[in-house]
Structure 1
Amino acid sequence: MRTQRMAVSALAVLTTFTLAACGTEPGPGAGSGDSGDPGDGSGTVRTEPPLTGVHWNVSSLTVDGKKTTAPAGAHVEIGSEGKATGSLGCNRFKADVRIDGSAVTVGQSTTTAMACADDVQEFEVAMGRAFHGKLDAAVAGSGDARTLTLTTAQGDSIALNSEPSAPLTKTGWKVSGLHSGDVASSLPDGTTGRARLTFGEDGTVEGNLGCNSFHGKAVVSGSTITFGPLASTRKMCPGGSMKLERALLGAMKGETTYTIAHRTLSLTAKGGDGFEATARATGR
């Protein structure tokens, strides 16, 4: 995979799409998705719905009256500082976004350049042609059951739906990377996909360290997890697996802090060492 800066004419696919995803920021008298302008009674909020900090799955694209289902995995995540990231179903993108009332405008964008299936490439091209310039954003529903519709001046539209962040407890987390301070690193060779853990609502944790299974106490309070002594099996494992196990046991020791960004868990011990884990994506 390689990332490249694209010319303005080639940015249509992801520039407009990111714009679409980016909606509006709340302002004085703004609606919240479950309050505000009652409109026509349908629950649609027309005034500045909060769209940042939400994982929006792309469900479909309608161009010239023809509706096309989006590729699995197509989504947009909008930051609070005029940035948006996501996937068109194959290639990932980043873009600058300007928000002005219910209008959204996308600036410079970058995208990966992977070869994709023909139907996915066709979808991305259609997105680029349909979504360019200003888009009107409308949110319906509330809480974790929101939908977002972005409409062009020509009447073409993109439909998205919100997906909530994964809960810490009762979620199967698969370890995907390690970090020490601000330095991230990949897992040791041969260990990808092996380490996993699940936090129970009763203050326990269990899982696999990459070779040996483990269980123990893990008390959650706010943004901290306090681990008690962890018990594990004692199998002899390959070198990479043992290296991963030592890293995970070092991170899950005493009081730690954690954050969840949609379906990614980041856990850090007091010394700065920690790991990232991902939750299985929900069905669409």
Structure 2
Amino acid sequence: MKGIRQLLLLLTVSTILSACNSSPSLPPPERLAGSWMVSAIQDKPVIANSKAKLVFSEENKLSGSASCNNISTSYSSHNSTLKIAPIATTRKMCAPALMKQEAIFLQSLSKVKRFQVNNGELSMFDQQGMLQLKAKRTEH
């Protein structure tokens, strides 16, 4: 009987010690909320100074600039999935190159189903896993 008590005591102490032993914790996952300057659309760099930008709010609103026009919509995300509602845009005319980039940007954004954030870089993928947009976190 004494041997069983010692074994139970040893097992209890061992369990407590292993529970207290903290393994190195993983860094918290980076958040989607915030401002992002788009750096590439369908793996092609954006036109310099085109100001393609996405702003994800904590209240699930998505706004920004598609290169020329402002955008506005809502989104929902869970883990790494992302659902973007239909996108409203302003209707300004810009240089033809910016208008073409904007059309591709809007088409790509509407295809996004999944995202990944690593080291301040946002990658957005379609249903098939093809990279649609890449962006870098900004302050504003």
- Unaligned 5+ runs, structure 1: 1-33, 37-48, 51-141, 145-163
**Residue identity opposite 1:277 in structure 2:** A
Change (3 A) 1:240 1:35: farther
Q: Give the structure with the larger strand fraction.
A: 1
CA distance in 1, matches of 2:21, 2:94: 56
* Correspondence 1:237 to 2:94: yes
Aligned equivalent of 1:178, options 34, 38, 41:
41
- Three-state SS of the structure 2 residue aligned to 1:251 is helix
Q: Note the C-alpha offset of 1:254.
A: 5.3
Following superposition, the deviation at residue 201 of structure 1 comes to 2.1
Distance 1:165 1:174 in 2: 20
The residue type equivalent to 2:44 in the other structure is S
Larger Rg, first or second structure (1 or 2): 2
Q: Matched residues in 2 for 1:165 and 1:278: separation?
A: 16
Mapped to 1, the partners of 2:133 and 2:111 lie a distance apart of 15
> How far apart are the structure 1 equivalents of 2:32 and 2:94?
29
- Counterpart AA for 1:167: R
May I ask how many residue pairs the two structures share in their alignment? 119
Would the aligned equivalents of 2:64 and 2:72 in 1 still touch at CA under 8 Å? yes
Q: 1:248 aligned to 96, 105, 115, which one?
A: 105
1:218 CA displacement:
1.2
Q: Which has the higher contact order (CA 8 A, sep 6+)?
A: 2
- Matched to 1:267, the amino acid is M
Relative to structure 1, the CA distance from residue 167 to residue 195 in structure 2 (aligned partners, 3 Å threshold; closer, same or farther) is same
Q: Hey, what's the Cα distance between the residues in 2 that align with 1:237 and 1:258?
A: 29
Q: Which residue of 2 aligns with 1:151?
A: none
Q: When the two structures are superposed, what TM-score results if normalisation uses the length of structure 1?
A: 0.38
Alpha-carbon spacing, 1:254–1:193, altered in 2? closer, same or farther (3 Å): closer
CA contact (8 A) 1:177 1:185 kept: yes
1:237-280 Cα offsets, whole Å, 9 max, x none, are 11221122112211221551111112000012236351100013
Contact 2:75–2:82 (CA<8 Å) still a contact in 1? yes
- Confirm or deny: 8 A CA contact 1:227 1:253 kept in the other structure: yes
* CA deviation map 1:38-59 (0-9, x unaligned): xxxxxxxxxxx75xxxxxxxxx
Q: Distance in 1 between matches of 2:89 and 2:72?
A: 7
Distance, in Å, in 2 between the alignment partners of 1:201 and 1:35 is 35
- 3-state SS of 1:252 partner: helix
Give the unaligned 5+ runs of structure 2.
1-19
CA distance in 2, matches of 1:278, 1:228: 22
Aligned partners of 1:225, 1:266: CA distance in 2, in Å? 11
Conserved? CA contact 2:123–2:131, under 8 Å:
no
Does the residue aligned with 2:71 lie in a helix, a strand or coil?
strand
| Structure 2 residue 84 is matched with structure 1 residue 221 | no
Q: Which segments of structure 1 move beyond 6 Å, counting only runs of 4 or more?
A: none
- Give the superposed CA RMSD: 2.6
Judging by fraction of residues, say which structure has more helix: 2
SS in 2 for 1:253: helix
Q: Quick one: structure 1 residues 196 and 165, their matched pair in 2 at CA, closer, same or farther if it must change by over 3 Å?
A: farther
Which TM-score applies when normalising by structure 2? 0.72
- For the residue of structure 1 that corresponds to 2:94, the secondary structure is coil
